Structure 1
């Protein structure tokens, strides 16, 4: 493999921004320093002072394969991801069939090999009847076990209290949870259906999937984790209320210990609020629901204050015709991987976060939390998963969307920065305008 030298870059890594050059050899970061001279035959990229970041690690995506390839698949969604500076992803188990055992898990890894543009990991899912599969899970084979403590598709709602307790007691990896209380949601949905029928206004979604439902379920998850000493990561926090339940401070403390219980929010909770249902309707219908402007503001502050440890996408594409259905038939979820990083960098432009904080939440923290080996940092010897940021504005257009669903909730929005280049395992995958070469993603390894 030929080497590449990136010169005159502004590196952002581990809380620092500094000017340096970076050499890529054999898929790895070989050298970081100043005044690195080009070798014979070496490709040279002049960053011209632009920011160079470690590639984003997204610990929460739904790439829909197997079973729902009409709306998304591993190849199309990972292509959209690298176009957005996302170089590694961890895919959810609520596919068809669901990923509830080792055979289904390995089938997903086989599907990704040679087709995924980014590096890949797949979660094992939990159900009321696969406790033994969870107990036997090789902790090196998956980033974690996903527990839906709220409504889900298929056989993936864990609502048996004894099973739930046993999962938290015996799981060999971190648990990640979707926390919403299903009985509370069902009761609210019935009340709104009695008033509106199936055509409930989209703006009612955060009242049906309420903050109270989130709070009750999150409290249950935390109580189980504390009882059993389980490493717990609570996904897509959507309310200000829940933030009081989590510890502020860095994920890795000064003494080297790690938070036992961590929190995550998603880019759409930082960029949209209840007022946006008027123009976007079901396009921003997701679970948990996008809520009030006050929640959005509290979540941004929580990211800055290290109450929220990780920023992710929960990329969950659906076709436009599906989203056009009446409320009860319109699926929840939205495509986000292609524009998540530039949307997060808008918070830097607005003075709410620093670039270092975005890098911590999007790259370092997922690597720390899931023990990802050799990725998530600009370090010599680490995989050369890199993103070059160009501070040139652009407006999101539907025709530029690479996700198979063919649309974005950000259409018409102008961002102040764009992805100028993405390297995956040292190979250029996105040149700022188009995909380059062929899929080069590798299976994520875990240092446990």
Structure 2
């Protein structure tokens, strides 16, 4: 692996921005300092005028492999992630077949080892009847247990309270939950089908999957976690109502219950259904205006701990179906950093806070080994951004296999110029180097 010397960078790390050089060798950050120009390196990157950030760690993606590879593959989506400065991802178990036993889980790791340009981990899935398999999960090299407390693919809806009690009381590791109350959603679905028939507009989505459905389920998860001392991580918080469930008076390292917010819930609101329709149909739903402002405030005051994408690609043709038939999910893993940088440009969040919530806090939350920070001895997962350049999202530069984005036509006031994954320069000025794949993530638990 080539050694790399980055000089003259504005390094955003651990609450500070300072001019530093960074020397990378054997996959690791060997040295940081104010003047390392005397060191020999195979490649020198002059980062003058650019910002160097720890690579983004996305703790929630759906890359569709195995079983749904007509939508996406681990190869295609990891590649798109790297183009956007996402150096590590954690992928969900609701593929086909669902990753509900250790053999199927390990199959995904084997695929990623040969194809993923980014670093990777995969959640073990929980169902109503696989607790024995769940308890076999290796805490050292698996990111967590995923529980769908709401609709999901195949056999992954966990709606039996005794099963939930069993998982929460016995899980050896972090339990990540999708929280929406299924009974509330079914009741709302019946009401809106009767009212609007077979082809309503997507604007009804936040009414079908409403605030009540989210709060009922999230509250239940928090209650179970407190009762059993579970390490709980609630995914994609989408309502202001749920913020009251989370504590910002203690440090992240001491929290037993943590939370995630996704970029689309900070970026879009219900008014955007008028122009984007099913393109932004996702679960939990993007809610009415006002929620995204409260969610951003919850992020800034540390009631919300990390930022993710819930990247979930579908074919364009599928998203054009009538509302009830159109699948939920949108592709986002190529653009989360630029979306947050745009909010920073608008004065809504600082660069230091973006790095904290997209890198540092994710590493701390999952107890990742030697990742998420720009520190000597840590893996070199880095992204270089130019905040003085513009980049427009076009069909030609979207790397998702589905080849569409709800951000199509958006001009960002930033550009991802370089992405380094475990010391390998995987992306440089629009070009990929796929000669080395990412590493399997390890956890210090």
Contact 1:115–1:439 (CA under 8 A) maintained in structure 2 = no
TM (norm. structure 1) is: 0.97
1:346 counterpart residue number = 342
Alignment of 1:355-434 (within 5 A): 355-391=351-387, 392-434=389-431
1:132 counterpart residue number = 132
Q: Does 1:224 pair with 2:212?
A: no
What SS does the corresponding residue of 1:407 show, helix, strand or coil?
A: coil
What SS does the corresponding residue of 2:439 show, helix, strand or coil?
A: coil
Alpha-carbon separation, structure 2, partners of 1:198 and 1:88 = 40
Alpha-carbon separation, structure 1, partners of 2:243 and 2:154 = 30
Partner deviation per Cα, 1:379-433 (whole Å, 9 max, x = no partner): 0011111000111112111221101000111111111111011011111111121
- 1:312 to partner: Cα distance: 0.2
Q: Does 1:168 pair with 2:171?
A: no
Alpha-carbon separation, structure 1, partners of 2:103 and 2:301 = 41
2:234 counterpart residue number = 234
Structure 2, unmatched stretches of 5+, are none
Alpha-carbon separation, structure 2, partners of 1:333 and 1:304 = 26
Partner deviation per Cα, 1:262-299 (whole Å, 9 max, x = no partner): 11110000110001000000000000000011001101
Alignment of 1:77-156 (within 5 A): 77-156=77-156
What SS does the corresponding residue of 2:431 show, helix, strand or coil?
A: coil
1:311 counterpart residue number = 307
- 1:49 to partner: Cα distance: 2.8
2:287 counterpart residue number = 291
Alignment of 1:148-297 (within 5 A): 148-249=148-249, 251-252=251-252, 257-297=253-293
Alignment of 1:56-71 (within 5 A): 56-71=56-71
Contact 1:250–1:306 (CA under 8 A) maintained in structure 2 = no
2:5 counterpart residue number = 5
Alpha-carbon separation, structure 2, partners of 1:308 and 1:51 = 25
What SS does the corresponding residue of 1:343 show, helix, strand or coil?
A: helix
TM (norm. structure 2) is: 0.98
Contact 2:238–2:265 (CA under 8 A) maintained in structure 1 = yes
RMSD value, Cα: 1.1
Which deviates the most, 435-444 or 364-373? 435-444
- 1:328 to partner: Cα distance: 1.0
What SS does the corresponding residue of 2:11 show, helix, strand or coil?
A: strand
Alpha-carbon separation, structure 2, partners of 1:267 and 1:40 = 40
Contact 2:117–2:434 (CA under 8 A) maintained in structure 1 = no
1:49 counterpart residue number = 49
What SS does the corresponding residue of 1:113 show, helix, strand or coil?
A: helix
2:434 counterpart residue number = 437
Contact 1:118–1:440 (CA under 8 A) maintained in structure 2 = yes
Contact 1:249–1:305 (CA under 8 A) maintained in structure 2 = no
Contact 1:75–1:115 (CA under 8 A) maintained in structure 2 = yes
Alpha-carbon separation, structure 2, partners of 1:423 and 1:249 = 35
Q: 1:112 to 1:183 in 2, by over 3 A?
A: same
Q: 1:251 to 1:155 in 2, by over 3 A?
A: farther
- 1:250 to partner: Cα distance: 6.1
Alpha-carbon separation, structure 1, partners of 2:326 and 2:249 = 39
Contact 2:424–2:436 (CA under 8 A) maintained in structure 1 = no
- 1:354 to partner: Cα distance: 0.7
What SS does the corresponding residue of 1:68 show, helix, strand or coil?
A: coil
Contact 1:118–1:439 (CA under 8 A) maintained in structure 2 = no
Alpha-carbon separation, structure 2, partners of 1:50 and 1:136 = 45
2:36 counterpart residue number = 36
Contact 1:144–1:174 (CA under 8 A) maintained in structure 2 = yes
Alpha-carbon separation, structure 2, partners of 1:10 and 1:331 = 42
Which deviates the most, 412-421 or 32-41? 32-41
What SS does the corresponding residue of 2:12 show, helix, strand or coil?
A: strand
- 1:439 to partner: Cα distance: 4.5
Which deviates the most, 434-443 or 349-358? 434-443
Alpha-carbon separation, structure 2, partners of 1:405 and 1:431 = 23
- 1:197 to partner: Cα distance: 2.0
Contact 1:250–1:309 (CA under 8 A) maintained in structure 2 = no
1:72 counterpart residue number = 72
Alpha-carbon separation, structure 1, partners of 2:15 and 2:120 = 26
